[in-house]
Every structure is written in structure tokens, then in C-alpha cells.
Amino acid sequence: MHIAIYILILTILLVLFYSKQLIAFIKHRRNLLKHMSKIPGPHAIPLLGTTYQMKWRTRDLLLQMRGWGVEFQNKGYELVVLWLGPHPSVVVISPDIARAILESNDIITKGPEYDILMPWLGTGLLISTGEKWRSRRKMITPTFHFNILNGFQAVFDHQARIMMEQLETYDGKREHFDIFPYIKRCALDIICETAMGITVSAQTDHNNPYVQAVQSLNILAFNYQRRPWLWLKPIWYATGNGYEYDASIKTVSDFTIKVINERIRDFEQLGGWPEDNTKQRPFLDMLIEIRKEKGLTYEDIREENVCPIHHTSHDTTAAGMGWTTWCLAHNMKCQRKLQEELDEVFGNSDREITVDDLKKLKYLERCIKEALRLRPSVPHFARKVEKDVEINGYTLPKGCSIIISPMLMHFNSRFHENPENYDPDRFLEDNLAGKHPYSYIPFSAGPRNCIGQKFAIQEEKTILATLFRKYTVTTHIPYTDNLPLPEIINRPSNGFPVLIKKRNI
């Protein structure tokens, strides 16, 4: 009898407990649906949302997404909602809305689209939020001071020269070759040396397992983000994606652990880093030096140096350089103008490129910026709405994600005349006057803008200047045949197949 009473009481308590949860869930969904119904978007159905319409091939998906963006932009809308299964993602297609969101100090939490990156990148500056993000941003910002970046110029120049040696075999050949792997390996060698102080010789060791692991993680993460059924772990592993992802994570983690342990051991054995005014210390060494003062753990160092910097610098700068090369290969008038600028600065010499030289290469910088407009290295930024917020007359409810797409923003004909054309002179000061500042956001903007954008531009200018000083780059592959695949970065669908020929200066 007593047991029956206890069971009855327990049952009532469980019902009451879960009833409160159920009621809270229903209220949350009603609020979500109420506000989402006021935002236009492609037709969605229960459970599957918009995904039933989405194209399977990444190439086709890109064209579909751009088509939806243009369609709703032309109708004068500022937001579009896409339902990924039961989860709504609000896509921003207006610079005014983008500005309000990116400048907000409340909407700073990265969206659930980044969850798949947690085992890889941890919760450092790239993904963290709240007070942790604020303190890390304040701590890391000084390491990107221009004086420190200038100290890495010799590394940029040295690795660029190695890349030119690697390209020698293709000089004057009639068959196209993909220059992208060479650019990526050069960028990897640069970030390993500047971030960690080590040489992995990726440019001369073309089967570097770390590069292959990062490439695998990028592809798997993108597939995970756009296919809700993969969010279920049994399916994630049954398809083999989970096992491949775990194996790639292990490759990256083993590499990371080895590097950090070696540098900490060196620091402790030396009793601190020796003074050497001829060489800039890598970012990892700076973090190790301040770890006790700032209370940094081993995991903090991993989060703030090796993983995020590898990911954000190696992949994004390589994409930026690759797309600039591709654009210039299809715009010979622009390439000749760039080479005239290079000849004015360097003549027919083969001397090293200095920081002062880079300041003079203004047309090259415009070429890079215009390529980033057409093909931004990061295709979109996502934020999580943690409480209902009012933005320009819209209510964005708790539980939805916000996606800001530079590609959609950069192709808006209201802000960029003939947006499909490659025209570096868009970035002449006179032509920028009156432009909406958020109509061009390749490095994001606001409090969470890219902390390494100066590093990226300096590296890209050095490598591209070295390339076009030595070679003329052409291609017979149509520009539009090579679509950007919006994975973690905008990866080219066909690589960057080009022809190179030494210049007679």
C-alpha cells in the first residue's frame, strides 16, 4: 500500500515537472513561430523545414542560395528565413540590419552552426562568448600590433620565395596546373612559423597529414551544418562521417599537443625566452610567457593559439590569395597595371620585399580587396539569439540563428554597380565616398571583427607581389566555371587551374 502511494506521488511529481517543461517549450515555439511568420522566405514544411528544397550538390546549392538572396533583395526585403529542419536561420540581406547586429554588444554569441567546430577549435576567441570572449579579445589584441606584424615580414618573404621555387617546373608549360595547393602550403608554413615558431616544411613535403586533416574537417563541418539528419549521432557515425571527423581531430590534436609541450619545455629549461632583437617571437611564445600572469591553462593556450590561428589564418588567407590570382588571370588589363606598379617599386631586382614596399603597393591592395568582394574568404557569419531583440522594426526571437552573408551583401547592385565585374578601382578613395560601410564586410565588423585582418593583408600582399613580379598568370578555364563552394571557407569548385610564364623585365 505504501509502495503504491509512493509510486503515485512520484508519478504526479514527474508529470508536473515535465508538464512545466512542456509548457515552456510550447510557449517558446509559439513565440518563435509568431515572429518567424513575419519574415519572408522559401516555403518550409514541418520537421524538414526548407531543407527539402535544398540542392544536394554544393555547386547547385550555392546558385540556389544566391538566387533566393537576389529574389528577396529585389523585392525590397531586409531579412529571409531558412528553416534547417525545425531550426530557423534568419539570413541578413540588408547592410543596415547587418550593421545593427554586428555592432551589438548583446548579439555576440556564435550560432549553433559552429557547434561542430568545438572539438576542433575549442572555446577560444573564435567561438567563445560573454566575459570570456571580452577578456580574451583584450588579451590577444596587442599581439597583432603593427610592430609585431612587421617583425614577421622576413618570414612572409622567405616562404614566398620557396613557393616560387616550387612553381618553377610549370614555367611555360601548356597544360594547366592547380596553384591552390601551393598557396595553401605556403600559408601553412607561414602560420606555423609565426604562430608556433616551428618549421613543418609543408611546401617541400606535399603529403603533410595536418593539411589533409584540416581539409577533411572543413568539408565534414560544412556537410554537418546543412544536413540536419547528420545532427543525430547514430546517423553521423553510420554514414562514416563521425569516424572520419574523429580521426582528423586526432591528427590535429596530436600535432597541437606536441608543439605546445615542446615550447613550454624549452621556456622552462631556458628560464624564459632569451632577448633577440633580430627575430620576432611567435604568438605561441608570447602566450607561454604571459600564461602565469594571465592565469592561462594548457587548454587556454591551445584554444587561443594553435587551433584557431591555424584555421582562421591558414585557410582564409590561402583562399584570399587564390581568388585574387584567379581574378587577375581573367583580367589581364588589371594584371598588367599591377605589374607596372611592381616594376616601379622593384625594377628588375630580386630583392626582398619590405614593409615600406608594401605601403607603396596600393593597386595590389585594391586587387585583393576587390577579389574579397567577389569571393570573400568566409562565406557567412552566424550569431545565436539568446533573448528576444528588436532590430530595425523586426523582432528576432530567442532560439533563432542569424546568418550574415558577405557574398549576398557584396553582390547587391544597390551598393555595387555591375557587381559581377572585377574592378579594383572601386576601392579608390573617391569611389568609396558615400558607400554604406556595411555593404563590404569580408572581415566581418563591429566588436567581433577579424582580429587578424592586418596580418592577412600583409601576408597576401607579400606573396602575390612575389608571384606577379616573377610570372604572368593566365588561364583558359572560364571564370564562371569555377564557383566558390561555401564550406568553412569559400573553396573553389575546381581549384585554381592556371598557366604561368616568367616575365622579361
CB 483 within 8 A of CB 57: no
CA 327 and chain centroid, separation: 20
Provide the 10 A C-beta neighbour count for residue 414: 13
Domain contains 178: yes
Domain contains 12: no
Domain contains 16: no
Backbone angles phi, psi at 498, to 5 degrees: -135, 170
**Residue 84 three-state SS:** strand
Domain contains 189: yes
Q: Give the max Cα distance, the chain.
A: 101
Provide the annotated binding site for heme.
450
Domain contains 22: no
Domain contains 104: yes
Domain contains 373: yes
Residue in the structure block whose three cell numbers are 550569431: 383
d(CA 403, CA 397): 14
Task: Compute the C-alpha angle 316/322/323, nearest 5°.
Answer: 95
Which of 95, 121, 130, 282 lies closest to 199 in space, CA to CA? 282
d(CA 456, CA 191): 10
In CATH, what number is assigned to the domain containing residue 202? Answer: 1.10.630.10
**Residue 390 three-state SS:** strand
- Amino acid letter, 455: F
Which of 108, 315, 105 lies closest to 191 in space, CA to CA? 315
Q: Domain range for residue 474?
A: 35-502
Provide the annotated binding site.
450
Would strands 87-92 and 401-404 be described as parallel, antiparallel, or unpaired? parallel
CA 175 and chain centroid, separation: 31
d(CA 294, CA 304): 13
d(CA 446, CA 402): 15
Digits of tens for pLDDT over the chain (505 positions)? 567 676 777 777 767 676 777 787 788 888 888 888 898 989 888 878 888 888 777 677 777 888 888 888 888 888 999 988 888 889 998 899 999 888 887 777 766 656 666 666 555 545 555 555 555 555 566 555 556 678 889 999 999 999 999 999 999 999 999 999 999 999 988 988 887 777 778 888 877 787 778 778 777 877 786 677 888 888 889 999 989 988 988 888 888 788 888 888 887 777 777 776 556 777 777 777 777 666 666 666 665 555 545 555 678 899 999 999 999 999 999 999 999 999 999 999 999 999 999 999 999 999 999 999 999 998 888 888 888 888 888 888 888 889 898 988 898 888 899 999 999 999 999 999 888 999 999 988 877 777 778 889 999 999 999 999 999 999 999 998 898 887 778 889 899 999 999 998 6
The x, y and z cell numbers of residue 253, run together, are: 590534436
Domain contains 29: no
Which strands make up the sheet holding 471-474, listed edge to edge? 177-178, 497-502, 471-474
The DSSP H or E segment spanning 383 is strand 381-384
d(CA 213, CA 221): 12
Question: What domain count does the chain have?
Answer: 1
